[in-house]
């Protein structure tokens, strides 16, 4: 089962290229801090500005670097079904443990189109697939009933990552699908509310810099100790919110740069933070006692 505290891993760049030396350090950092899975080439991994070749190479590189010590979930979504199939097949071929497949963006397909998109991928590639519902970016969401159809018809569709503040939706997913289908939070500040409704963990942005704290919060919730989980949630809440002061992954990559984990390099149309927001971010990192080495 895919559950627990998973990191939406950044993709570091240096001089316009993927920085594989920094990826090495990030993989070891998360293994050492007991993160449950690496999610690579997702939104936080800037997949939208990676070339196909880079995307596939990063997935393969992380799988090889992990050496089975930590699960690797590859972002393989696309708004064209044939592209999503190609990325998903490649991820399986190089040994990824599962794939994260986003609802097709820009096209605004109907629910029937969304169903056929994911069913086609699942039929073509026999690998565990986690759906990714993020309507703020895709322009359309996958209805709970469509998730139910897919889970019923496709045994390898095993879960959904939910980036939505709609807790009624989470309740409906749990009601329809029960405990065997994995619901994961896609928003750090909503992880605890979702887990109170039955979600099994988070694919976390904050986990890039506070993996121990996020894992402890999730583990407490999985054990049913919501009092301790709430204490950690409230402690981390200010950090969760500052990491979304601008479009993700701009703040988290800036935070990783400040902590000496990567360069502060993006690809257009993403760019550096406004100076006043960067100052607030770094002040918050210091407030949490994180080892800021650059500002």
Q: If DSSP codes are grouped into helix, strand and coil, which group holds residue 107?
A: coil
Q: Do the beta carbons of residue 290 and residue 259 sit within 8 Å?
A: yes
Active site residue 115: no
Q: Is 132 one of the catalytic residues? A: yes
> Residue 114 in contact with residue 148, Cβ under 8 Å?
no
The verdict on whether residue 88 carries a ligand-binding annotation is no
* ∠ Cα 40 43 45 (to 5°): 40
| Count of C-beta atoms within a 10 Å radius of residue 26 | 23
Cα–Cα distance measured from residue 75 to residue 42, given in angstroms and rounded to the nearest whole number: 5
Catalytic residue among 71, 92, 115, 132: 132
Binding site annotation covers 44? Answer: yes
Kindly name the residue from 71, 92, 161, 253 that is annotated as catalytic: 161
Q: How far is CA 277 from CA 28, 97, 169, 252, 267, in A?
A: 30, 37, 32, 12, 19
Residues with a catalytic annotation lie at 132, 161
List binding-site positions for pyruvate: 44, 203
Give the residue ranges of the annotated binding site: 44, 203
């Amino acid at each position: 089962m895919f559950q627990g505290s998973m990191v939406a891993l950044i993709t570091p760049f240096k001089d316009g290229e993927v920085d594989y030396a920094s990826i090495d350090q990030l993989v070891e950092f998360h293994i050492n801090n007991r993160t449950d899975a690496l999610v690579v080439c997702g939104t936080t991994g800037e997949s939208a500005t990676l070339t196909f070749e880079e995307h596939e190479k990063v997935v393969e590189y992380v799988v090889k670097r992990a050496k089975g010590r930590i699960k690797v979930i590859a972002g393989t979504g696309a708004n064209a079904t044939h592209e999503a199939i190609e990325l998903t097949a490649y991820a399986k071929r190089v040994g990824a443990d599962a794939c994260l497949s986003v609802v097709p963006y820009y096209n605004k397909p109907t629910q029937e189109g969304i169903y056929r998109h994911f069913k086609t991928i699942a039929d073509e590639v026999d690998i565990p697939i986690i759906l990714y519902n993020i309507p703020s970016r895709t322009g359309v969401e996958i209805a709970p009933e469509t998730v139910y159809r897919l889970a019923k018809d496709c045994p390898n569709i095993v879960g959904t990552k939910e980036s939505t503040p709609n807790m009624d939706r989470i309740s409906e997913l749990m009601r329809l699908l029960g405990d065997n289908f994995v619901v994961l939070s896609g928003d750090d500040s909503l992880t605890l509310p979702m887990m109170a409704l039955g979600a099994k963990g988070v694919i976390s942005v904050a986990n890039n810099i506070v993996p121990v704290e996020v894992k402890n919060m999730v583990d407490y919730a999985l054990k049913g100790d919501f009092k301790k989980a709430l204490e950690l949630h409230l402690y981390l809440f200010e950090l969760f919110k500052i990491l979304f002061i601008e479009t993700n992954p701009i703040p988290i990559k800036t935070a990783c740069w400040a902590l000496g984990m990567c360069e502060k390099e993006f690809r257009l149309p993403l760019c550096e933070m406004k100076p006043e927001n960067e100052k607030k971010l770094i002040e918050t990192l210091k407030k949490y006692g994180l080892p800021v080495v650059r500002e």
